[in-house]
Structure 1
Amino acid sequence: MLNEFIEGLAEILETEIENIQPDTLLGNFAWDSLAVVSTMALVDDVYSVMLDGQALAKCQTVGDIQNLIAVASGN
């Protein structure tokens, strides 16, 4: 599941998979409202978890998104 998420996020951010690490800054990419909505859909598809859009938009790193997913899924 993590690989599917990383691959999908790389596509959303229009970058290579190798560039997606927990400390990757989202602000270095096109982290805009469309990316947030696309990431919400990706997380729903991969993890069957719906994230809060406002909380997701406040994420600054890939690790922040992963932490948000963990909290939303109860892990």
Structure 2
Amino acid sequence: MKKEFLANLAEILEVKETDITPDMKLGEKVWDSLALLAVAAAFDSIYDKVIPVKTIGKCNTVQELLDLVEEDD
């Protein structure tokens, strides 16, 4: 799941997959309101998880986003 998640996030943020690491701080790359909405939509469509944009916006690292996806409902 981790590799797939990183690939999906790279596509959403329009960066190279090799630029995305779990410990990457989200402010280091393109991380604006459109990216937040795109991540929320991806969580819903790809992972069948509805996570509020506010919650996603509180994440500081890629790992925190991954943790949201992996959380049990």
TM-score by length of 2: 0.84
**CA distance, structure 1, for counterparts of residue 5 and residue 43 of structure 2:** 7
- Match for 1:32: what amino acid? D
Gaps spanning 5+ residues in structure 2: where? none
Give the Å deviation of 1:70: 2.1
* Worse-superposed segment, 3-12 or 56-65: 3-12
* Worse-superposed segment, 55-64 or 43-52: 43-52
Give the Å deviation of 1:5: 2.7
2:20 matched to 1:8? no
**CA distance, structure 2, for counterparts of residue 28 and residue 53 of structure 1:** 19
1:8-40 deviation line (CA, Å, top 9, x unaligned): 211222211011111011101121110000001
Matches within 5 A, 1:1-75: 1-71=1-71, 74=72
**CA distance, structure 1, for counterparts of residue 49 and residue 12 of structure 2:** 18
TM-score by length of 1: 0.82
Give the Å deviation of 1:60: 0.9
Gaps spanning 5+ residues in structure 1: where? none
Identity, in percent, stands at 37
Give the Å deviation of 1:3: 3.8
Give the Å deviation of 1:42: 1.0
Q: Please report the RMSD computed on the Cα atoms of aligned residues, expressed in angstroms.
A: 1.6
